[in-house]
Amino acid sequence: MMKSTKQFTTDVPRSQCSSTLRKPTTRFGDKQLFTNYFYWESETSWEDTYCLLRNRYCTFNFLTRSNPLDDQCIRGKELVRAAPWTIGDLQVDLSLSRIINRHSFRYSVDVAYTELMGSYPNHLHVFTDGSKTPDATGYAIFVKDRNITISHKCQGALSSFSVESYAILSALHWIETNNVSRAVVLSDCLSALECIANYRTDGPFIVTQIVNVLNRLTSEGKSITLIWIPGHAGIPGNEVADRLAKEATSSHRAITIHDIPIDDAKKIALHKCKAIWNREYLDSETGSHYKIFRPNLEVKLPSVPPRRSEATLFRLRTGHCGLNAQLHHIGCSESPLCEHCDELETVEHYIMTCSHLTEIRRKLQRIAQTKNVPFQLYNLLTDSNIIADLLDFIRESKRRI
């Protein structure tokens, strides 16, 4: 298992980690990770590093002990290798984005694309594209003039931005390896190209690598331009790259990308934490009443402001409320029975069957019928169309919940 590289703030005692000297500053969210021109490399797994950084990571640390990122290196921002004043103008052409949108006719797209390509005579056309499914990611390169195709399935849950950026980076590496002097790299990922065009000296590491390669090629006198083209607009080269990228996601062979952008790592960790939380929620023997309304954590229950109304709803959904069944359970009431019916005063009894509330319940039933909401406990506590009327029912009952 490879060790993860993490950075520390200066308030972490040096005695708590084995460390080596490394590179300059970056940020993790609102937290400064690098300070000055060094950071410490932990010899433990990445979640232990997070735990040292701030106390709020202790729960995060506990949930991610068996995390999927220990064999990968989480990369933050990196400095561009060349000094900013030595980097020339990076050739990134976004002109089509200013005249083409999703409502443009196919003919107008073809005309604009043909006219733009006429501005780059004798250039090799290299199309790139990325694809993302719930289970995999992949990217492809199509060199139209030489009929060369390259596609890879990527291991790890990369974002669409990252996989599109990897496709552009791979295309630049191919151009450099094959000593191509004049080429245009065509991508339909506007966000990646905008990030490259407006790069900062300490940007995301994939963008920094693209800028480094592009600057190196330009300094050698080569004419390399990154161009945005619309996706799914009938441009033949883009359609081929798109098909290859989609096929790559279902391939049995995959390349391992150990360098994971820090934003992608956060999403992976968050997804895993939610999966663990959901599994523990389902396996728990407690909260059976609440699980009637929220069978799993993917179900989002509607909220109703103000906070007092939200608190009332939550108490009814959990069963932890001011009704006698719960009060008797916690030793605050002598009897768990309803004062009027001599039946167990539960949430269901209070809302659905208590004889003392028959008249106002009929009013609620008429409203539910008008709104086509089934008059059942589950619907009354989860359907946003009837919740406000249920709260009126509770107020009219003058029962303290």
pLDDT at position 180:
94
Q: How far is CA 1 from CA 19, 51, 66, 258, in A?
A: 19, 20, 12, 12
Does the residue 286 lie in any domain? no
Structural domain includes residue 76: no
Instruction: Categorize the per-residue pLDDT at 77 as very low, low, confident or very high, splitting at 50, 70 and 90.
Output: low
Q: Is residue 251 part of a domain?
A: yes
* Helices 205-219 and 190-197, packing angle to 10 deg: 60
| Same domain flag for 358 and 322 | yes
Sheet holding 254-256, edge to edge: 92-93, 223-228, 182-187, 124-132, 137-143, 148-155, 254-256
Query: In sequence order, what are the residues at sequence separation of 6 or more whose Cβ sits closer than 8 angstroms to the Cβ of residue 142?
Result: 126, 127, 128, 148, 149, 150, 237, 240, 241, 244
* Pair (256, 176) in one structural domain: yes
Position 223 scores a pLDDT of: 93
If one compares 121 and 3, the residue with the highest pLDDT of the two is 121
pLDDT at residue 68, rounded to an integer: 52
Number of domains in the chain: 3
Q: Specify if 283 maps to a domain.
A: no
Mean pLDDT of 388-395: 95
Residues 221 and 316 placed together within one structural domain of the fold: no
For residue 361, give its domain range. 307-397
Q: Tell me the CA end-to-end span of the chain in Å, nearest whole number.
A: 54
79 located within any domain: no
pLDDT band at 72 (very low <50, low <70, confident <90, very high): low
Check residue 42 and give its pLDDT: 34
DSSP state of 91: -
Q: What is the CATH number of the domain that holds 226?
A: 3.30.420.10
The region of weakest confidence among 16-25, 84-93, 233-242, 364-373 is 16-25
For the chain, the maximum distance between any two Cα atoms, rounded to a whole number of angstroms, is 92
Q: Does the pLDDT of residue 377 top 70, yes or no?
A: yes
pLDDT over threshold 80, residue 194: yes
Strand pairing of 73-75 and 259-261? parallel
Same domain, yes or no: 98 and 195? yes
Q: Which of 43, 69, 95 finishes a domain?
A: 69
Identify whether residues 360 and 315 lie together within a single domain: yes
**Same structural domain, 203 and 248:** yes
Question: 118 with 27, same domain?
Answer: no
Average pLDDT over residues 126-141: 91
Same domain (yes/no): 94, 117? yes
Q: Is there a domain that residue 231 lies in? A: yes
Phi, psi of 13 (to 5 degrees): -60, 135
Same domain? 157 vs 230: yes
| Domain final position from 69, 96, 118 | 69
Q: Are residues 228 and 115 in the same domain?
A: yes
- Are residues 332 and 257 part of one domain? no
| Sequential DSSP letters for 148-194 | EEEEEEEES---HHHHHHHHHHHHHHHHHHTT-SEEEEEES-HHHHH
Give per-residue pLDDT as tens, 206-221: 888 899 899 899 889 8
Q: Is the pLDDT of residue 65 over 60?
A: no
pLDDT band, very low/low/confident/very high, at 155 (cuts 50, 70, 90): low
Are 209 and 154 part of one and the same domain? yes
Among the three residues 69, 92, 116, which one is the final residue of a domain in this structure? 69
- Do 377 and 368 form a contact (C-beta atoms < 8 A)? no
**pLDDT band, residue 49 (cuts 50/70/90):** very low
Lowest mean pLDDT among 61-65, 155-159, 307-311: 61-65
Provide the pLDDT confidence category of residue 7 given band limits of 50, 70 and 90: very low
For residue 323, is pLDDT > 80?
Answer: yes
Contact yes or no for 79/23 (Cβ under 8 A):
yes
277 located within any domain: no
Distance of alpha carbon 243 from alpha carbon 6, whole angstroms? 37
Q: Two tokens at 263?
A: 């934003």
In this prediction, residue 79 carries a pLDDT of 60
Beta strand 137-143 with 148-155 is antiparallel
Confidence of residue 272 (pLDDT cuts 50, 70, 90): confident
- How much of the chain exceeds pLDDT 90, in percent? 50
Residues 35 and 11 sit within 8 Å (Cβ to Cβ): no
Q: What is the mean pLDDT of the chain?
A: 80
Q: How confident is the model at residue 71 (pLDDT cuts 50, 70, 90)?
A: low
What pLDDT digit, counting tens, does each position of 274-317 carry?
888 899 899 998 889 999 999 998 899 998 889 999 999 999 99
Q: Is residue 296 part of a domain?
A: no
User: How much is the pLDDT for 305?
Assistant: 87
Query: Token pair for residue 67?
Result: 């995390």
